[in-house]
């Protein structure tokens, strides 16, 4: 599938847009030059439900699952979610700062949210990701590199790489070679 990013709006097509308030303006001096890959499932170990979208849009009901009480009040987001079937859901314009990385450093540069794009894959650290997700991710990265020339394959990292000891995603089940084999 061919993906296109409108650099003016910061939106990717085709994606379903589900606006998150958990974002703000990037610092004026920050360019977009990194991609951070994450993994998420809500509740942990369950796929396909509405909870990820509810979390990123501040609509998660803490009484719906015991784990949701632990994360109640979190204000987080990502630019993009890639579901198990490859569906794209965009929450934040790529031109804005999504709140996905937390305390983080990439190649000596702190505050990754300032200059990175956060892409969540629906999954778990120890459960293989789906072929449809790798195909979509490769297409998304190609579209992002066309829209934001400072991005390159060498500026892609996992959440665990930028927040070691604090985060483990996308985890050992994420096949980096499969990703890189699909990139141009």
CB–CB of 100/118 below 8 Å? yes
What is the spatial distance between Cα 158 and Cα 163, in angstroms, rounded to a whole number? 9
Structural domain count of the chain: 1
Spatial separation of the C-alpha atoms in residues 132 and 136, rounded to whole Å = 6
Cα–Cα dist 164/169, whole Å:
10
Strand partners, 25: 96
Per-residue confidence (pLDDT) for residue 182, from 0 to 100: 87
Query: Any idea which residues carry the catalytic annotation?
Result: 120
Q: What is the pTM of this model?
A: 0.97
CATH, residue 166: 3.40.80.10
pLDDT profile of the chain (184 residues), mean per 10: 96 98 96 97 97 98 97 97 98 98 97 98 98 98 97 97 97 97 85
pLDDT of residue 31: 93
What φ, ψ does residue 90 adopt, rounded to 5°?
A: -100, 135
pLDDT of residue 35: 98
The token pair that represents 80 in the structure block: 């993009």
pLDDT of residue 1: 85
Structure tokens at 161: 């790489």
Q: Which domain holds residue 162?
A: 4-181
β 88-90/80-82 pair status: antiparallel
């Amino acid at each position: 599938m061919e993906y296109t990013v409108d650099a003016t709006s910061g939106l990717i097509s085709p994606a379903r847009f589900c606006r998150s308030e958990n974002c703000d303006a990037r610092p004026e001096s920050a360019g977009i030059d990194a991609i951070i890959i994450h993994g998420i499932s809500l509740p942990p170990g369950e796929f396909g439900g509405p909870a990820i979208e509810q979390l990123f849009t501040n609509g998660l009901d803490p009484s719906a699952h015991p784990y949701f009480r632990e994360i109640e009040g979190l204000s987080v987001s990502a630019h993009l979610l890639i579901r198990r079937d490859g569906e794209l859901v965009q929450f934040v314009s790529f031109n804005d700062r999504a709140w996905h990385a937390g305390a983080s450093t990439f190649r000596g540069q702190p505050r990754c949210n300032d200059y990175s794009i956060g892409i969540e894959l629906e999954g778990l650290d120890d459960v293989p990701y789906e072929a449809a997700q790798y195909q979509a991710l490769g297409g998304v990265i190609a579209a992002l590199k066309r829209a934001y020339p400072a991005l390159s394959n060498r500026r892609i990292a996992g959440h665990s790489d930028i927040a070691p000891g604090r985060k483990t995603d996308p985890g050992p089940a994420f096949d980096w070679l499969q990703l890189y084999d699909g990139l141009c």
